[in-house]
Amino acid sequence: MKTSWEELSERQPVATKMLKNAVLKDRVAHAYLFEGPRGTGKRELALYYTKVLLCENVTDANPCGNCRNCKRVDSGNHPNVYIIEPEETSIKKHQIQQLQEEFAKTAVESNRKIYIIDHADKMTTNAANSLLKFLEEPVSITTAFLLTEQVQQILPTIQSRCQSIHFNPLPVRFFEEHLHQKNLQPALIPLLARITNSEQVAVEIAQEEWFAQARALVIELYEALVTTKKDSLLVIQQNVSRHFDSKEQVQLMLDMLVLAFKDMLYIYAEQDNNVVFRTEEALMRQALNRYSLEKITTCLEKILDAKKRLTSNANMVLVLEQMIIELQEGL
C-alpha cells in the first residue's frame, strides 16, 4: 500500500485532517464510525490509520512503511489486526464473539489491537448487541473502525459510542482521473463520474447496452429540443419502450438530460472544462442565443418534475411526453 496522508486527503480532506490531528494530539478514539457512499475510500483510510497506529517509527503521524508492523499490516497478516466482513449477507453473532475471544487472549504482542468491521450495517441484532457490550468494556488498548454506506441502519446506541466521520462523494475531477485508468471510453467518463461515485458501478454501467442507448437518446433529444428540426415527441415514442425496461434506467436518462442543460450553464459561465457532453458544445453555444438563463432553469425544473412523477406509478412514456410538451412550451 503506497498511499499517504497527502494522497488520501485529496479524496477526503476533512476525514483525513481529523484523523491525522488525533494522532498528533494523542487523542485517538476507541471507536470510529466511517460512514459515506461506496467507493469513497473508507476501508483504505481505516487500513492506513491502522498502519499509523501500529508503526514502530512514526514521525509526524506518518508511518515509516518499512518496520515489521507496517509490513505486516500491508500484507494483511498482523496478529493484532482483525477484519470482519459479512458472511454471505450478514455479520453474525459468532463472528463478533470470535473477535472478543481473540482479543481476550493474552496477546503475544502487547500493544494496541485494532478491528475493522466492514459493512457494519449488516450486523444481525444479536451481533450488534454483542458488539455493543464489547464497545462498552474494551480490553487493552483497542481501536475499532466500523465502516458503513448506510449509517441510518446502525443502532443509535452503537453510533453514540463511536466518533462518526463522514466520507463525502469523491471530487468529480479526482474520480474522472481514476476512471481514465480503467480503460473506459474517454467520451463516457465525464458522464459516468457524475452519475455514480462508485468505480465498480461506473465500470459496470459503461459496458451496458442501455447506458449507451440512454446517452445517445439524450443527445438526440437535446438536439431535437434546441434545434426543433426533429419532433422531440417522436424521439421519445420511438425509443423509450424499445430501449428501457425499468424506471431506474429512465431516471438515469433524465439525470443525463439534466446534465446536458447544466452544460449550457457552464458554457454561459465560461467554465467549459465542466461540460459533460463535449460533442454538443458547438450546438449548445448556438442554442444559448435563444435560451436565457431563466429558460434553462425552467427546463431543469421541468425535467426534475418528470423525475419525481416517475417515482409514483405513472406510465413512463406519458410522463416523458408531458415533460417534452412542457419543455417545448418554454421555447
CA distance 280 to 219: 8
Under the binding rule (CB under 5 A), the answer on residue 55 touching Zn ion is yes
Under the binding rule (CB under 5 A), the answer on residue 64 touching Zn ion is yes
Q: Which residues pair with 163 in a beta bridge?
A: 32
Under the binding rule (CB under 5 A), the answer on residue 67 touching Zn ion is yes
| Nearest to Zn ion of 53, 327 (CB atom) | 53
Under the binding rule (CB under 5 A), the answer on residue 61 touching Zn ion is no
Under the binding rule (CB under 5 A), the answer on residue 81 touching Zn ion is no
Q: Give the binding range for Zn ion (CB under 5 A) out of 49-57, 198-206, 243-251, 310-318.
A: 49-57
Q: Give the binding range for Zn ion (CB under 5 A) out of 68-76, 177-185, 222-230, 291-299.
A: 68-76
Residues 6+ apart with CB under 8 A from 186: 180
Cβ 145 to Zn ion shortest distance, Å: 19
Under the binding rule (CB under 5 A), the answer on residue 284 touching Zn ion is no
Cβ 73 to Zn ion shortest distance, Å: 8
Burial of residue 254 (CB within 10 Å: 0-12, 13-18, 19+) is buried
Under the binding rule (CB under 5 A), the answer on residue 70 touching Zn ion is yes
Q: Give the binding range for Zn ion (CB under 5 A) out of 65-73, 159-167, 203-211, 265-273.
A: 65-73
| Nearest to Zn ion of 22, 55 (CB atom) | 55
| Nearest to Zn ion of 67, 300 (CB atom) | 67
Cβ 74 to Zn ion shortest distance, Å: 10
CA distance 90 to 283: 51
Site size for Zn ion, by CB under 5 A?
Answer: 5
Q: Which residues pair with 145 in a beta bridge?
A: 32, 116
| Nearest to Zn ion of 54, 165 (CB atom) | 54
Q: Which of 172, 36, 274, 279 is nearest to 180 (CA)?
A: 172
Under the binding rule (CB under 5 A), the answer on residue 29 touching Zn ion is no
Under the binding rule (CB under 5 A), the answer on residue 191 touching Zn ion is no
| Nearest to Zn ion of 11, 51 (CB atom) | 51
| Nearest to Zn ion of 55, 306 (CB atom) | 55
In the complex, the residues that contact Zn ion under the rule CB under 5 A are 55, 63-64, 67, 70
